[in-house]
């Protein structure tokens, strides 16, 4: 069992207070117009994320476009405004798929209709195909592999690089007390999990967190009951999701090092599902060298 340091207690206290603050702000009686209520709720979330995220990211709303397709309108778009443009239009902002690191759908209350809306919007994001050229990290790793092949006397035949899709998340502020993993899976029958389910889903009031991991060979949905720590666990998952999709010039910052109390948490339910595409990663191809004068094919 890990002992919390004063730093860990301070981090934990911050996210406990933020969870209460978000729920209180979202419940403020703005008006009776559903559109304005939704706008208020999204602004509350955006303000939280703008404080949490590194400055290289901006938080907006709008639609995401690739060469051929576009998403549905997204409540929250997390994009790299340091390196990419966006196009402000009359009724929404136009974001290039290459710039977007994450999409979050925000719902005030749990309902079956809201859940289906999240699944449909996630599927629209999953259809987008950002144009991914090799990054500086890819070039350096290829150089390392070429040097390793020379050192070990094997021929290097290239690599298969499978990049991340745009990250997706969903937040349900209230409701969902009677939900179980089995009920949620039943509600999404006929909708392939890899295509329709967000990477991270949080139920802020009930403390439920769902994480989708697409591993080599298969995928898993992990259901956690974090209770008061759920906003901290969601924020860790979201930061990891976004940071997986950028090139780093510094060592990655890991918020979980400051939240060691959640490391011991185990999922209450795990569901495996088949992948419909290659898992993200790098696969290098080598073979023994047959020509002693050549280390490459």
Q: Is residue 30 part of a domain?
A: yes
Decide: helix, strand or coil at residue 54.
coil
**pLDDT for 248 beyond 90:** no
Helices (H), the chain: 6-26, 34-52, 112-126, 136-152, 181-187, 193-196, 230-243
pLDDT tens digit string along 208-218? Answer: 999 999 877 78
- The candidate with the shortest Cα–Cα distance to 284, out of 163, 134, 161, is 161
pLDDT tens digit string along 145-188? Answer: 999 999 999 999 999 888 889 999 999 988 889 999 999 999 99
pTM of the model: 0.88
Domain of 225, in residue numbers = 6-288
Q: Is residue 19 part of a domain?
A: yes
Angstrom distance (rounded) from CA 100 to CA 96: 7
Q: Is residue 242 part of a domain?
A: yes
The pLDDT score that the predictor gives to residue 271 is 96
Residues 89-103, mean pLDDT to the nearest whole number: 91
Q: Is residue 175 part of a domain?
A: yes
Asked whether 94 and 87 are in contact (CB, 8 A), the reply is yes
The pLDDT score that the predictor gives to residue 33 is 45
Angstrom distance (rounded) from CA 26 to CA 43: 9
Q: Is residue 1 part of a domain?
A: no
- The candidate with the shortest Cα–Cα distance to 199, out of 68, 98, 101, is 101
Residue found by looking up tokens 């290039």 in the block: 96
Which position has the higher pLDDT, 207 or 249?
207
Angstrom distance (rounded) from CA 243 to CA 56: 11
Cα-based distances in Å from 72 to 45, 96, 219, 236: 19, 14, 25, 26
* Residue 33 CB coordination number (10 Å): 9
Q: Is residue 184 part of a domain?
A: yes
pLDDT tens digit string along 10-69? Answer: 999 999 999 988 888 766 655 444 544 555 667 788 889 989 999 999 999 999 999 999
The pLDDT score that the predictor gives to residue 27 is 67
The pLDDT score that the predictor gives to residue 294 is 52
Q: How confident is the model at residue 289 (pLDDT cuts 50, 70, 90)?
A: confident
3-state SS, one letter per residue, for 214-277: ECCCCEEEEEEECHHHHHHHHHHHHHHHHHCCCCCCCCCCCHHHHCHHHCCCCCCEEEEECCCC
Assign residue 281 a region (left: φ > 0; alpha: ψ between -120 and 50; beta: otherwise): left
The pLDDT score that the predictor gives to residue 260 is 80
Give the count of domains, the chain.
Answer: 1
Q: Is residue 293 part of a domain?
A: no
Q: Is residue 96 part of a domain?
A: yes
Q: Per-residue b/e over 177-202, b at no fewer than 16 CB within 10 Å?
A: eebebeebbeeeeeeebbebbbbbbb
């Amino acid at each position: 069992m890990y002992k919390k340091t004063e730093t860990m207690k301070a981090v934990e206290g911050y996210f406990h207070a933020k969870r209460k603050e978000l729920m209180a702000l979202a419940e403020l009686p703005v008006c009776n117009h559903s559109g304005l209520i939704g706008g208020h709720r999204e602004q509350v979330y955006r303000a939280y994320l703008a404080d949490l995220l590194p400055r290289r990211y901006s938080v907006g709303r709008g639609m995401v476009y690739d060469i051929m397709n576009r998403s549905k309108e997204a409540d929250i778009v997390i994009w790299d405004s340091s390196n990419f443009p966006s196009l402000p239009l009359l009724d929404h902002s136009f974001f290039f798929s290459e710039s977007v690191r994450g999409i979050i759908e925000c719902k005030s209350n749990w309902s079956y209709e809201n859940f289906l809306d999240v699944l449909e919007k996630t599927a629209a994001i999953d259809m987008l195909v950002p144009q991914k050229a090799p990054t500086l990290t890819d070039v350096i790793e290829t150089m390392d592999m070429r040097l390793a092949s020379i050192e070990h006397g094997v021929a290097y035949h290239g690599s298969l690089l499978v990049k991340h899709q745009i990250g997706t998340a969903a937040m349900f502020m209230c409701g969902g007390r009677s939900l179980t993993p089995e009920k949620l899976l039943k509600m999404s029958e006929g909708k392939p999990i890899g295509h329709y389910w967000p990477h991270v889903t949080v139920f802020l009031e009930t403390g439920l967190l769902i994480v989708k991991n697409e591993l080599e060979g298969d995928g898993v949905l992990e259901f956690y009951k974090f209770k008061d720590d759920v906003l901290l666990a969601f924020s860790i998952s979201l930061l990891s999701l976004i940071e997986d999709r950028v090139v780093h010039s510094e060592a990655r910052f890991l918020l979980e090092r400051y939240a060691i109390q959640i490391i011991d948490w185990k999922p209450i339910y795990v569901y495996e599902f088949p992948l419909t595409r290659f898992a993200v990663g790098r696969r290098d191809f080598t073979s023994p060298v047959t020509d002693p004068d050549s280390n490459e094919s």
